Amino acid sequence: MRNIALAFLAFLLGANPLSALASSSDWFETQGGRIRLVTAGKPDEAGRLKGMLEVDLLPGWKTYWRDPGDAGVPPQIDISASENITSAEFAFPVPERHDDGGFKWAGYDEPVALPIIFTLKSPAEAALIEADVFLGVCESICIPAQTRLTLDPASDPDNPEDTAAVAAALAALPAPAKPEFGVSSAREEGSKLIVEAKFPGDPASAEFFLAGADGYAFGTPERVEKEGKTLFSLEILARPDSVPAGDGLHYTLVTDAGAVGGRIPFM
């Protein structure tokens, strides 16, 4: 009887959805690839927990940076159904500029991992991540990938494969901008934003990406060499009626000497 009772208990535990949760979600299969969420380690004292959205693209398919450009859908995540999770913020590795028959876009045409910082309301208490994820996965047309990914970050926080994967995703991010490598000034000239950049490396290799947000939208940057300076000119396509609060607009600056990221203050 004891063995029967133990077997029945094991069956009940196996049937409990929470018992099957791991610190990485199941893969969600979609046309053009698959996606999953992964977390690693424990939250710090401020409740910040490292993770990533892994996007495993099939050859010939693509997905987008935080600002896709002329067409596309940026990745989005909604954690409102989660327990003890107050926010989830994406970070983005260096994108590439692509031109598909007149449509210019910024993003990735190979498998990519997008780091995420989850914030726990109470770091010492259990958390459950139930994240509604939406992103565009495109070949000749875009297929919206939309699903709920579920995981328990405390179930296997020291999993070596997850830890290595999240560490690699974070290491692929642009370095923080600094005075000798980054945006040195940004000003409006009529309907354009003129950005001056300083950087090591060949000026011809420089690419600049600026993410519209909070009502701002910009055209594709054009690089201009003027009086020994490297400038980027962007058409201002839209702007809010008032200057928003916050740290400003995300940018990434890429050259053959590396890549940095930073913020341009709101105008």
Question: Does residue 122 share a domain with residue 192?
Answer: no
Question: Does residue 184 share a domain with residue 167?
Answer: no
Identify the pLDDT of residue 215.
Answer: 93
Beta strand pairing call for 33-40 and 96-100: unpaired
Assess if residue 71 is contained within a domain: yes
Give the end of a domain, one of 147, 173, 199. 173
Identify the pLDDT of residue 245.
Answer: 87
Identify the pLDDT of residue 152.
Answer: 96
Task: Name the residue among 155, 82, 78, 160 with its Cα closest to residue 122.
Answer: 82
CATH number of residue 239's parent domain: 2.60.40
Q: What is the mean pLDDT of each run of 10 residues along the chain (267 residues)?
A: 38 39 89 96 96 97 91 91 97 91 87 98 96 93 92 93 96 97 95 96 94 93 90 95 91 97 93
Question: Does residue 78 share a domain with residue 32?
Answer: yes
| Total count of domains within the chain | 2
Global confidence as pTM: 0.88
Assess if residue 11 is contained within a domain: no
Assess if residue 42 is contained within a domain: yes
Residue-number span of the structural domain to which 126 is assigned? 28-173
Question: Does residue 197 share a domain with residue 152?
Answer: no
Assess if residue 2 is contained within a domain: no
Q: Are 184 and 192 in contact (CB under 8 A)?
A: no
Question: Does residue 86 share a domain with residue 153?
Answer: yes
Identify the pLDDT of residue 23.
Answer: 85
Assess if residue 242 is contained within a domain: yes
DSSP code string of 50-103: EEEEEEEEPTT-BEEEEEEESS----EEE-TTSBSEEEEEE-----EEEEETTE
Identify the pLDDT of residue 21.
Answer: 60
Question: Does residue 162 share a domain with residue 196?
Answer: no
Question: Does residue 145 share a domain with residue 33?
Answer: yes
